């Protein structure tokens, strides 16, 4: 085994962390009789030799040995090695990275060449995968179909083999893998697609196993998304019910494996935990495939999710929540009933379902309102104020694990969701949270939507700020408290804010000062005590601090004497984009009283930096009312960068009739179904909130424009 491994000069090869002289040990580890050693070796292969999907010269040198290991039935966990080879050889170059079009001197050439050589090397030995579809080890049979569909150079031969194997395979998950591989071949090879789609359509109707029918239907939709049947929702929900009633017993767990201190081991354990106790955990991936194929058919996708959320199977309800998380992040729609039903899951005895529901609701902000009653009721149980406390099933504010939330994190998540939804029932619960030793920082940033009722939190926030040490970690500890004090207008905390402002250490001093000054600005005239400090910071070399001081001074005194001079000095040739934007925003907040600075803002309208143009145009409108100069700049930025649309829309709403030329742009945005900031494969915690804010502002802008037209 591993013949010739010592003949390779591994030290001259490299991987993600330097010389590859440790690779022979990793390869031998893959063949070890010890499961922990095998898992550690696999983790090393992914962590160094195939780091984040990269292919190095050492990766190429490993391929013959990996193929040898796969072919040896005495080697255990060969399914994992098949998956590793599939990953190494399955990277397809983008159209703009074709090897024959790249210059060998370009930086992209070597990685692209390595990917191409890896694919060729594995394809040359891919016949080894043909025999694995009937291997005694189900984990090997599970991995082999994808490897064949991705790497074998004869797709028609593979397609025939996979379809034949399906007639004799008895393992459910392997059968699903065979169908998924058939779909993969159809997607990769257009010449085989029509035949394959017809076969998948037949299988979706003729197979006896409802799970197999669902798999075929999902792959059919994936291969022919433009030809998905209109009755897809009742078809799928009927299959899910068949699967539920035919698989009432939980899946039989596999052989338990000791934990290893590796990323691979952690992922394995999480997947095992996720599937534990579920009769058909594989339905999640099938539905994910189907949802991806449905894409912008949002109403159908919502209908599928609603059906799942009403299922007696907690696993289906959990899957629905995770699937809806991906849907609501990308697409606009009517989610009220979905959110209400997710809120109902907070009372379920299954902790994984409660965790999924809480995690989902945290990110909804105002869209979480339909679940507010459920959140408030669940939190009442957790704090000992609800009816469950009398029977001893409730928790307490210190997060003791009870029948409600397991530990403090679940309670904090529900409280965050309630506060972000703007529900004032969160206020007394936030007060309790502020009494604890540690407070989740997101709770402090959620206080800005709670209105006047949140004023009662000011004394608690003031006390906590007074306890913050003026050390190197001051910013991390003080910034959330300062933000919260600004949100609740806790002006009685001026002495504590001044203490932070004056005592900021060298580490992130400007960040601390800016945060403190923003809080003082929110206090307005009540911050008179801080005026000397504000005035003293007008001339500092930091634009963020200087402009924040100017804002605070204007809010406290209403005197433009030194304020405009301090701001205009950052509107000069050669100023950085960030400095210019800080000054322009401050002038915009001052408004018509700063009309004399309009000439200084003018050059910003033609800047190369988009944000300088946006901030300058918005400020120019706000100080001078010059819509003719500002509007074209704002509309150009709207088209150029979708992430500027919230800021632009806010200005258009202020302009009202003066922005009537933007009516079509705003109306078009309101008719779009895709969120303006949607990103495939990535998301931010505030993405949904920002898009919903854009829609709200656009409606207001359109209403003002239309009123001005009559």
pLDDT given for residue 388 in this prediction: 38
pLDDT given for residue 405 in this prediction: 46
Q: What angle do CA 690, 692, 697 make, to 5 degrees?
A: 90
CB 160 within 8 A of CB 269: no
Among 252-266, 340-354, 517-531, 695-709, which stretch is predicted with the lowest mean pLDDT? Answer: 252-266
pLDDT given for residue 251 in this prediction: 57
Q: Is 18 left (phi over 0), alpha (psi -120 to 50) or beta?
A: left
CB 362 within 8 A of CB 420: yes
Integer Cα distance of 300 and 334 in angstroms: 12
- Residue 574, Cα to own-chain centre: how many angstroms? 37
pLDDT given for residue 259 in this prediction: 66
User: Between residues 530 and 1, which one has the greater pLDDT?
Assistant: 530
pLDDT given for residue 252 in this prediction: 54
Residue 682 — very low, low, confident or very high, per pLDDT cuts 50/70/90?
Answer: confident
pLDDT 10s digits, 359-387 = 999 999 999 999 999 999 999 985 544 44
Among 201-205, 255-259, 313-317, 516-520, which stretch is predicted with the lowest mean pLDDT? Answer: 255-259
pLDDT 10s digits, 302-319 = 999 999 999 999 999 999
pLDDT higher than threshold 60 for residue 606: yes
Residue 286 — very low, low, confident or very high, per pLDDT cuts 50/70/90?
Answer: very high
pLDDT given for residue 101 in this prediction: 54
Residue 249 — very low, low, confident or very high, per pLDDT cuts 50/70/90?
Answer: low
> What is the percentage of the chain residues whose pLDDT exceeds 90?
83
User: Between residues 317 and 268, which one has the greater pLDDT?
Assistant: 317
- Residue 181 CB partners (closer than 8 Å, separation 6+): 145, 146, 148, 149, 158, 162
Residue 276 — very low, low, confident or very high, per pLDDT cuts 50/70/90?
Answer: confident
pLDDT 10s digits, 77-106 = 999 999 999 999 987 655 445 545 545 555
Integer Cα distance of 316 and 330 in angstroms: 22
What tokens appear for 251 in the block?
């899946």
pLDDT given for residue 250 in this prediction: 60
**Full 3-state SS string of 657-676:** HHHHHHHHHHHHHHHCCECC
Task: Record the pTM.
Answer: 0.86
Q: What angle do CA 413, 414, 415 make, to 5 degrees?
A: 90
What Cα–Cα distance (Å) separates residue 476 from each residue in 170, 473, 507, 567, 684? 56, 6, 11, 28, 20
pLDDT given for residue 324 in this prediction: 95
DSSP notation for 154-211: -HHHHHHHHHHHHTT---HHHHHHHHHHHHHHHHH-GGGHHHHHHHHHHHHHH-SSHH
What Cα–Cα distance (Å) separates residue 287 from each residue in 292, 320, 325? 8, 9, 13
pLDDT 10s digits, 492-545 = 999 999 999 999 999 999 999 999 999 999 999 999 999 999 999 999 999 999
- Paired strand residues for 14: 19
Among 12-21, 171-180, 265-274, which stretch is predicted with the lowest mean pLDDT? Answer: 265-274
- Residue 7, Cα to own-chain centre: how many angstroms? 46
What tokens appear for 375 in the block?
């959140």
Q: What angle do CA 144, 145, 147 make, to 5 degrees?
A: 65
What tokens appear for 467 in the block?
């306890």
Among 437-451, 556-570, 671-685, which stretch is predicted with the lowest mean pLDDT? Answer: 671-685
> What is the percentage of the chain residues whose pLDDT exceeds 70?
91
pLDDT higher than threshold 70 for residue 614: yes
pLDDT higher than threshold 90 for residue 268: no
Integer Cα distance of 499 and 504 in angstroms: 8
pLDDT given for residue 102 in this prediction: 46
Among 38-47, 271-280, 530-539, which stretch is predicted with the lowest mean pLDDT? Answer: 271-280
Integer Cα distance of 8 and 18 in angstroms: 16
Q: Count of residues for the chain?
A: 710
pLDDT given for residue 104 in this prediction: 54
pLDDT given for residue 248 in this prediction: 59
pLDDT given for residue 228 in this prediction: 94
Average pLDDT over every residue of 196-204 = 96
Average pLDDT over every residue of 211-236 = 96
DSSP notation for 434-466: HTSS---HHHHHTGGGSGGGGGGGHHHHHHHHH
Integer Cα distance of 462 and 482 in angstroms: 9
Residue 175 — very low, low, confident or very high, per pLDDT cuts 50/70/90?
Answer: very high
pLDDT 10s digits, 11-26 = 999 999 999 999 999 9
Tokens 């988009």 -> residue: 610
User: Between residues 20 and 683, which one has the greater pLDDT?
Assistant: 20
């Amino acid at each position: 085994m591993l013949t010739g491994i010592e003949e390779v000069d591994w030290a001259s090869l490299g991987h993600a962390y330097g010389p590859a002289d440790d690779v022979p040990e990793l390869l031998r580890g893959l063949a070890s009789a010890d499961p922990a050693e095998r898992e550690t070796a696999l983790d090393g292969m992914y962590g160094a030799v195939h780091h984040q999907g990269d292919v190095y010269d050492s990766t190429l040198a490993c391929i013959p040995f990996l193929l040898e290991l796969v072919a040896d039935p005495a080697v255990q966990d060969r399914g994992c090695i098949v998956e590793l080879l599939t990953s190494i050889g399955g990277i397809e170059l983008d159209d703009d990275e074709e090897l024959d079009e790249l210059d060998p001197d370009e930086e992209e050439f070597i990685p692209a060449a390595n990917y191409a050589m890896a694919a060729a090397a594995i394809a040359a030995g891919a016949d080894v995968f043909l025999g694995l579809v009937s291997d005694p080890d189900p984990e090997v049979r599970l991995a082999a179909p994808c490897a064949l569909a991705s790497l074998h150079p004869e797709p028609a031969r593979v397609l025939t083999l996979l379809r034949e194997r399906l007639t004799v395979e008895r393992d459910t998950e392997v059968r699903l893998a065979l169908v998924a591989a058939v779909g993969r071949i159809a997607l990769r090879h257009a010449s085989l697609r029509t035949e394959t789609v017809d076969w998948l359509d037949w299988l979706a109707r003729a197979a006896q196993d409802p799970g197999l029918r669902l798999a075929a239907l999902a792959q059919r939709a994936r291969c022919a998304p433009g030809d998905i049947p209109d009755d897809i929702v009742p078809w799928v929900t009927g299959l899910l019910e068949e699967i539920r009633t035919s698989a009432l017993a939980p899946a039989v767990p596999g052989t338990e494996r000791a934990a290893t201190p590796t990323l691979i081991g952690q992922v394995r354990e999480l997947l095992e935990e996720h599937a534990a106790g579920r009769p058909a955990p594989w339905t999640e991936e099938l539905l994910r495939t189907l949802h991806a194929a449905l894409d912008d058919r949002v109403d159908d996708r919502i209908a599928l999710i609603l059906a799942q959320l009403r299922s007696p199977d907690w696993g289906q309800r959990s899957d629905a929540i995770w699937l809806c998380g991906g849907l609501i992040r990308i697409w606009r729609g009517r989610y009220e009933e979905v959110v209400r039903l997710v809120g109902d899951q907070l009372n379920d005895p299954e902790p994984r379902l409660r965790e999924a529901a809480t995690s989902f609701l945290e990110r909804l902000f105002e869209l979480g309102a339909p679940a507010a009653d459920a959140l408030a009721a669940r939190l009442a149980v957790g704090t000992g104020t609800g009816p469950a406390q009398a029977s001893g099933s409730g928790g307490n504010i210190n997060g003791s694990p009870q029948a409600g939330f397991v530990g403090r994190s679940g309670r904090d998540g529900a409280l965050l969701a309630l506060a972000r939804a703007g529900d004032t029932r969160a206020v007394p619960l936030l007060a309790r949270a502020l009494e604890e030793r540690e407070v989740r920082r997101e709770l402090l940033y959620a206080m800005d939507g709670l209105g006047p009722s949140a004023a009662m939190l000011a004394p608690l926030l003031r006390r906590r700020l007074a306890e913050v040490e003026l050390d190197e970690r001051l910013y991390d500890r003080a910034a959330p408290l300062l933000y919260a004090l600004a949100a609740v207008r806790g002006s009685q905390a001026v002495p504590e804010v001044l203490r932070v402002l004056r005592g900021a250490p060298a580490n992130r001093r400007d960040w601390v000062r800016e945060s403190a000054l923003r809080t003082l600005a929110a206090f307005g005239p009540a911050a008179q005590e801080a005026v000397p400090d504000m005035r003293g910071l007008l001339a500092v070399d930091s634009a963020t601090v200087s402009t924040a001081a100017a804002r605070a001074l204007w809010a406290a005194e209403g005197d433009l004497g030194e304020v405009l001079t301090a701001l205009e000095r950052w509107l000069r040739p050669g100023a950085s984009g960030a400095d210019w934007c800080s000054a322009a925003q401050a002038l915009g907040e001052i408004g018509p009283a700063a009309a004399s600075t309009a000439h200084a803002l003018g050059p910003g309208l033609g800047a190369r930096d988009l944000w300088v143009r946006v901030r300058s145009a918005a400020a120019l409108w706000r100080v001078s009312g010059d819509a003719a100069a500002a509007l074209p700049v704002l509309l150009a930025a709207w088209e150029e960068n979708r992430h500027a649309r919230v800021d632009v829309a806010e200005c258009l709403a202020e302009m009202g009739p003066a922005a009537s030329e933007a009516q079509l742009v705003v109306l078009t945005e309101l008719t779009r179904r895709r969120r303006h900031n949607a990103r495939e494969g990535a998301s931010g915690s505030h993405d949904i909130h920002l898009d919903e804010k854009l829609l709200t502002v656009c409606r207001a802008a359109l209403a003002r424009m239309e009123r001005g037209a009559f």
